[in-house]
Amino acid sequence: MRKNQGWLGWLFASPYLLYAIIFFLIPLVWSLFLSVTDWNLISPTYSFVGLENYAAALKSQGVQSAFFVTFKFMAVFVPLVIAFSIIVALIVQGLPRFKGLFLIGFFLPYLASGVVSSLIVKGILSYNSPLNEFLRGTFGLDIDWLGSPFAALFVVALIIAWKFTGYYALILTSGFESISKDVYEAAMIDGVTPWQRFWKITLPLLYPALFTVLILSIGVTFGIFTEVYQLTGGGPNFATNTWQMEIFTKAFSNLQAGYASAIAIIASIVTFVAIYIIRKLLELWGKRNGWT
């Protein structure tokens, strides 16, 4: 009986296992192999180059910029998306009816094509767009949105925040829903101010949902590509050059699949280590405040 149940478990798990083997395990092993060769995937011959690709990658300006740019994106994107999602979740919470409908509305950008939204933003921010004409004419503000390093990074972070806000708001809304109204009523009787209510009740009880959203949003910053590819091409002067952009350029523009694989392996190690450290810090934060 136990034996049969074991096989049943494997049977049910097999679709995901198969998926993980085909799309994660085999590509990972393949990438590790490629990263120690000079192969471009097309040539009939290749040589083993040991760790040369890794050494070259660590010294390259592109990889170094990708490393720092990711953390810059994190510093801008994560607070933005968390703030937006909390605001949206709070607004939806306060609605007397049609909560689901509004949530779907906010969720729609998540389904929108990154290419389309980037092209729209490109048009809105162009030098002679109505927005810029207005800013120049009314306030004398002449901002080079995609040509100056910080503005370009901020614009890309903002587009991605817009895209993910609805999705994260959905998770946070479920967190809000799980907080019992009795707790708020008791706090009101005790004369707690709205500010105290948010910091002392909402935030601690929202912590599990917030933790999920934080980890997810940090993960997003390691995979940014479409918006950067469409809007800035990694520029100006590497200011928005992400890991994915660097991997794509080396693999498909320069035909250096081996070298690009080495960058991909480095990127995955950095991602894993960074997320692990941040996760531990978040857990520590929760424990210190008695939220977990």
Partner 1 sequence: MKIKKVASLVLAASLTVSGLAACNNGDKSNGSTKDGVTTIEFWAAPNPTQQVYWKEVAEEFTKENPDIKVNVSPMKESPTSEAGIQSAIAGGSAPTMSENINRGFAAQLSESKALLPLDELEGWDEIKKNRNMEDTMKGWEFADGHQYVLPIYSNAMLFGWRLDVLKELGYNEPPKTYSEMLEVAKKLKEKHPDKYVWAKPDLADPTAWKRWFDFFMLYNAASDGNKFVEGTDFTGDKKAGEKVLGFVEELQKADALMTRQSKDPFESGLGIFTDIGPWTISYWAEKFPEMKLNETYALALPPVPDGMDTENVKTFADTKGLVVYASATKEQQKAASEFIKWVYSNPENDLKWLEKTNLPPARDDLTTNDTFKSFFENNPALQPYAAAVPNAIPPMDNSKYNDIQTFIGQHAFNPVVKGEKDPKAAWKDMQEAIEGALK
Contact residues for partner 1, defined by CB under 8 A = 6, 10, 14, 17-18, 21-22, 25-26, 40-44, 122-123, 125-129, 144-147, 229, 233, 235-236, 248, 252-255, 257
Dihedrals phi, psi of 37, to nearest 5 degrees: -125, 170
Least distance to partner 1, CB of residue 13, Å? 9
String of DSSP letters for 8-29:
HHHHHHHHHHHHHIIIIIHHHH
Q: Which is nearer to partner 1, 44 or 191 (CB)?
A: 44
Positive or negative, the CA dihedral 46, 47, 50, 54 is negative
Least distance to partner 1, CB of residue 134, Å? 15
Tokens at 116, concatenated: 């389309």
Least distance to partner 1, CB of residue 47, Å? 14
Q: What's the CA gap between 131 and 134, in Å, rounded?
A: 5
Least distance to partner 1, CB of residue 196, Å? 46
Q: What's the CA gap between 163 and 225, in Å, rounded?
A: 14
Least distance to partner 1, CB of residue 112, Å? 17
Q: Which is nearer to partner 1, 59 or 288 (CB)?
A: 59
Least distance to partner 1, CB of residue 6, Å? 8
Amino acid type, 191 = G
Tokens at 2, concatenated: 């136990």
Angle at 51 between CA 47 and CA 55, to 5 degrees: 120
Q: Which is nearer to partner 1, 235 or 286 (CB)?
A: 235
Q: What's the CA gap between 210 and 174, in Å, rounded?
A: 11
Dihedrals phi, psi of 48, to nearest 5 degrees: -85, 130
Q: Which is nearer to partner 1, 94 or 130 (CB)?
A: 130
Q: Which is nearer to partner 1, 133 or 283 (CB)?
A: 133
For the chain, how many residues are written?
292
Q: Which is nearer to partner 1, 98 or 127 (CB)?
A: 127
